């Protein structure tokens, strides 16, 4: 059993410290306090699926590779990374990387990190990403070879995974040992997580004395904490309306950058009405997405055209946003045989399922009004997220709205639109089938050259856009609201928390 390097408080009274326990009376606070909506579930990156856990782990762990601002996979710790052949990747790490317990990181640790996903006894929702990984071979003290069972050009993105020490077990959920610029000081579930700088971190120097992530579930309370100055910043956890209000306050600042989160309206193509592409096109042209972006999102979003985000090297720039055109929508419905019946009656009835969150309920109401204007009666059904997802996966929907979070790799086109990825095995929740899209996606998955992959993914995206299995709505604009005295704020497309290592309070 590895000795834990940080004690985990199990009583709520520890939450009163909030990163300020080392201060004397009247002494100014030098650490940062970041408010978060949700508490992390686990500190073990091998099993963490929730956003809060993964964001905090970005400060405690290092990876072989990372995602850059163009969503390319580039080295993090790796000093060498190359494809030796279509089935083999080689990675090397530098000597001198230290874990938080003082031990040097070697190839044994790298191999163990990924061999865990091959172990039948290891339970993790992340294992599916490594289904093409056949084995991990240690080649010297600092080199590891990854052997695949089939060519998979997108495999390197799976090496953007926090490295853990050899032998890490269940204790990592509360006693993690990483190699990042911060190590765990205290974790009180549903209250706060406090991180201290790790002075021996490789290539990373923390610019602040401490970071505390304070769990504040209610967004109104998060905004009040910012107003009072008891919280230093909030990242992507405030509604556009609240951001607009807080922007007016002189002691606060708002920093924005383009993001990768993708909101869409999905269709169940097993429904006989929605199986007709003309009906789907009619729905798409009936929705005034520009108004949703401008007024509901307060401009904190960008019109979306594809699930692959605009800053991606594989984004198809020539896919135009669907124009809001109610007259065209009516004509398409006529062509599909859903003509105006007269007497104020609708052409057809549809049901739209969405989240209980207010922003999505209001968005659904706008869509409902838009569809009504072209003769489609739309009933809105709201549900908690777990219920909504179950209905979508089971095909118990007609229309639904959801959001993909943190889209980085264009291989998302395979996972979402390939006919081989139907639930429960994959994410083709709309039950979309296209032999042409399948052909292009399969070719892109097998291609080793990035330029060839980009060409094929873009072609697939064009086919998918024409078939309208989704109505692309918007990409979220990443947003920080912070005290004006805070410096060093920067946002990556994925809103990675790594920037917090460079943030200071004046």
Structure tokens at 74: 């580039």
Q: Which own/partner contact pairs does 224-232 have at CB distance under 8 Å and 24+ positions apart?
A: 225/35, 226/35, 226/252, 226/481, 226/482, 226/483, 227/252, 229/483, 230/33, 231/33, 231/34, 231/35, 232/32, 232/33, 232/34, 232/482, 232/483, 232/486, 232/505
Q: Encode pLDDT of 248-276 as tens digits.
A: 999 999 999 999 999 999 999 999 999 99
Write out the two tokens for 50: 């929730």
Span 475-499, mean pLDDT? 96
pLDDT of 3 over the 50 cut: no
Q: What is the CATH number of domain 259-477?
A: 3.10.105.10
* Mean pLDDT of the 101-111 span: 98
What is the structure's pLDDT at 200?
A: 95
Residue of 230 and 424 predicted with greater confidence:
230
Taking the alpha carbons at both ends of the chain, their separation in whole angstroms is 42
Confidence check: pLDDT of 435 > 90: yes
pLDDT for the residue numbered 358: 87
Instruction: Tell me the pairing of strands 211-215 and 32-36.
Output: parallel
* pLDDT per position as a tens digit, 175-206: 999 999 999 999 999 999 999 999 999 997 89
- 488-491: long-range contacts (C-beta < 8 A, 24 or more apart)? 488/207, 489/233, 489/253, 489/255, 490/255, 490/257, 491/235, 491/255, 491/256, 491/257, 491/259
The fold for domain 12-199 equals D-Maltodextrin-Binding Protein; domain 2 (3.40.190)
pLDDT at 29: 54
Q: Rounding to the nearest 10 degrees, give the CA dihedral for residues 150, 124, 119, 441.
A: 0
23-36: per-residue pLDDT in tens? 433 344 569 999 99
Domain extents in the chain: 12-199, 259-477
Provide the pLDDT for residue 30. Answer: 62
- Give the pLDDT confidence of 270-295 residue by residue, as tens digits: 999 999 999 999 999 999 999 999 99
Q: State the pLDDT at residue 17.
A: 39
19 confidence band (pLDDT: 50, 70, 90): very low
Please determine, for residue 71, whether its predicted confidence score (pLDDT) is greater than 60.
Answer: yes
Mean pLDDT of 234-257: 96
Asked whether the domain spanning 259-477 has the same topology as the one spanning 12-199, the reply is: no
User: What is the reported pTM?
Assistant: 0.87
- For position 424, what pLDDT does the model report? 78
Could you give the dihedral angle defined by the CA atoms of residues 462, 467, 468 and 469, in that order, rounded to the nearest 10 degrees?
Answer: -110
Mean pLDDT (the chain, rounded): 92
């Amino acid at each position: 059993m590895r000795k834990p390097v940080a004690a985990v408080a199990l009583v709520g009274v520890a939450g009163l410290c909030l990163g300020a326990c080392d201060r004397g009376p009247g002494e100014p606070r030098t650490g940062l306090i970041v408010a978060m909506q949700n508490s992390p579930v686990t500190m073990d990156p091998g099993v963490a699926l929730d956003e809060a856990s993964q964001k905090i782990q970005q400060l405690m762990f290092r990876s072989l590779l990372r995602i850059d601002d163009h969503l390319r996979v580039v080295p993090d710790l790796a000093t060498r990374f190359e494809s030796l052949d279509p089935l083999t990747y080689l990675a090397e790490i530098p000597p001198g990387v230290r874990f938080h317990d003082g031990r040097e990181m070697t190839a044994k640790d790298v191999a163990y990190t990924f061999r865990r996903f091959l172990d039948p006894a290891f339970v993790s929702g992340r294992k599916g990403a490594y289904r093409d990984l056949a084995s991990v071979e240690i080649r010297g003290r600092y080199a590891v070879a990854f052997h695949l069972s089939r060519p998979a050009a997108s495999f390197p993105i799976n090496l953007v995974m926090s490295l853990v020490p050899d032998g890490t077990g269940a204790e990592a959920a509360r006693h993690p040992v990483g190699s990042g610029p911060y190590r765990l000081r205290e974790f009180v579930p549903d209250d706060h997580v406090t991180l201290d700088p790790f002075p021996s971190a490789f290539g990373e120097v923390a610019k602040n004395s401490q970071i505390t992530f304070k769990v504040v579930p209610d967004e109104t309370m998060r905004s009040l904490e910012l107003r009072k100055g008891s919280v230093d910043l909030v990242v992507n956890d405030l509604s556009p309306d609240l951001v607009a209000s807080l922007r007016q306050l002189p002691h606060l600042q708002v920093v924005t950058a383009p993001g990768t989160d993708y909101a869409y309206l999905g269709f169940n193509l097993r429904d006989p009405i929605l199986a007709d592409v003309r009906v789907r096109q009619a729905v798409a042209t009936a929705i005034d997405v520009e108004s949703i972006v401008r007024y509901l999102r307060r401009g904190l979003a960008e019109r979306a055209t594809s699930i692959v985000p605009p800053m991606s090297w594989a984004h198809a720039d020539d896919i135009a946003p669907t124009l809001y055109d109610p007259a065209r929508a009516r004509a398409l419905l006529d062509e599909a045989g859903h003509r105006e019946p007269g007497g104020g009656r609708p052409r057809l009835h549809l049901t739209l399922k969405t989240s209980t969150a207010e922003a999505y309920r209001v968005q659904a109401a706008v869509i409902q009004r838009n569809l009504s204007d072209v003769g489609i009666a739309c009933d809105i059904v709201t549900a908690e997220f777990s219920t909504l997802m179950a209905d979508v996966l089971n095909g118990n929907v007609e229309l639904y709205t959801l959001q993909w979070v943190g889209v980085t790799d264009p291989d998302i086109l395979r996972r979402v639109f390939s006919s081989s990825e139907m639930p429960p095995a994959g994410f083709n929740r709309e039950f979309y089938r296209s032999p042409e899209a399948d052909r292009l996606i399969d070719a892109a998955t097998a291609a080793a050259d990035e330029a060839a992959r980009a060409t094929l993914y873009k072609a697939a995206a064009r086919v998918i856009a024409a078939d309208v299995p989704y109505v692309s709505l918007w990409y979220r604009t990443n947003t920080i609201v912070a005290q004006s005295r805070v410096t060093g704020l920067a946002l990556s497309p994925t809103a990675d928390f790594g920037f917090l290592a460079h943030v200071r309070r004046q």
